[in-house]
Amino acid sequence: MKLLFVADPLESFKTYKDTTFSMMREAARRGHQIWACEPQDLVWRQGSRVVARAARAITLTGEAEAWFTVATTAELALADADAVIMRKDPPFDSEYFYATHLLGQAEREGARVFNKPSALRDHPEKLALLEFPQFCPPTLVTRNEAAVRAFHAEHGDIILKPLDGMGGMGIFRVGPDGLNLGAIVETLNKGGAETIMVQRYLPEIKAGDKRVLVIGGEVVPFCLARIPQGSEIRGNLAVGGKGVAQPISPRDREIAEALGPLLAARGLLLVGLDVIGDCLTEINVTSPTCFQEITDQTGFDVPKMFIDALERAALQA
Question: Are residues 232 and 194 part of one domain?
Answer: no
Domain span including residue 167: 138-201
Q: What percent of the chain has pLDDT over 70?
A: 100
Whole-number Cα distances in Å, 304 to 6, 263, 292? 20, 21, 11
Question: Are residues 185 and 291 part of one domain?
Answer: no
211 is catalytic: yes
Q: How many domains does the chain have?
A: 3
Catalytic residue among 161, 189, 252, 293: 161
Question: Are residues 100 and 29 part of one domain?
Answer: yes
Spatial distance between the Cα atoms of 67 and 36, rounded to a whole number of angstroms: 14
Question: Are residues 29 and 101 part of one domain?
Answer: yes
Domain closes at, from 173, 201, 229: 201
234 is catalytic: yes
Cβ atoms of 303 and 291 closer than 8 Å:
yes
Catalytic residue among 112, 116, 234, 252: 234
Please write the tens of the pLDDT for every residue from 229-266.
988 888 788 778 899 999 999 999 999 999 999 999 99
161 is catalytic: yes
Cβ atoms of 241 and 206 closer than 8 Å:
no
Question: Are residues 218 and 169 part of one domain?
Answer: no
Q: Are strands 2-6 and 33-37 parallel, antiparallel or unpaired?
A: parallel
Catalytic residue among 88, 112, 200, 211: 211
Catalytic residue among 236, 252, 284, 293: 284
Question: Are residues 270 and 188 part of one domain?
Answer: no
Question: Are residues 110 and 10 part of one domain?
Answer: yes
Q: Would 194 be classed as within a structural domain?
A: yes
284 is catalytic: yes
Whole-number Cα distances in Å, 219 to 153, 211, 301? 38, 11, 13
Question: Are residues 171 and 214 part of one domain?
Answer: no
The CATH number of whichever domain residue 190 belongs to comes to 3.30.1490.20
Catalytic residue among 126, 200, 210, 252: 126
Question: Are residues 195 and 92 part of one domain?
Answer: no
Question: Are residues 301 and 248 part of one domain?
Answer: yes
- Average pLDDT over all residues of the chain: 96
45 is catalytic: no
Please write the tens of the pLDDT for every residue from 35-53.
999 999 999 999 999 999 9
Please write the tens of the pLDDT for every residue from 6-15.
999 999 999 9
Catalytic residue among 25, 116, 210, 226: 226
252 is catalytic: no
Question: Are residues 156 and 89 part of one domain?
Answer: no
pLDDT, one tens digit for every residue, the chain (317 residues):
999 999 999 999 999 999 999 999 999 999 999 999 999 999 999 999 999 999 999 999 999 889 999 999 999 999 999 999 999 998 888 999 999 999 999 999 999 999 999 999 999 989 999 999 999 999 999 999 999 999 999 999 999 999 987 777 889 999 999 999 999 999 999 999 999 999 999 999 999 999 999 999 999 999 999 999 988 888 788 778 899 999 999 999 999 999 999 999 999 999 999 999 999 999 999 999 999 999 999 999 999 999 999 999 999 86
Q: Would 127 be classed as within a structural domain?
A: no
Question: Are residues 108 and 17 part of one domain?
Answer: yes
From 87, 85, 86, 77, select the one nearest 108 (Cα to Cα): 77
Q: Would 94 be classed as within a structural domain?
A: yes
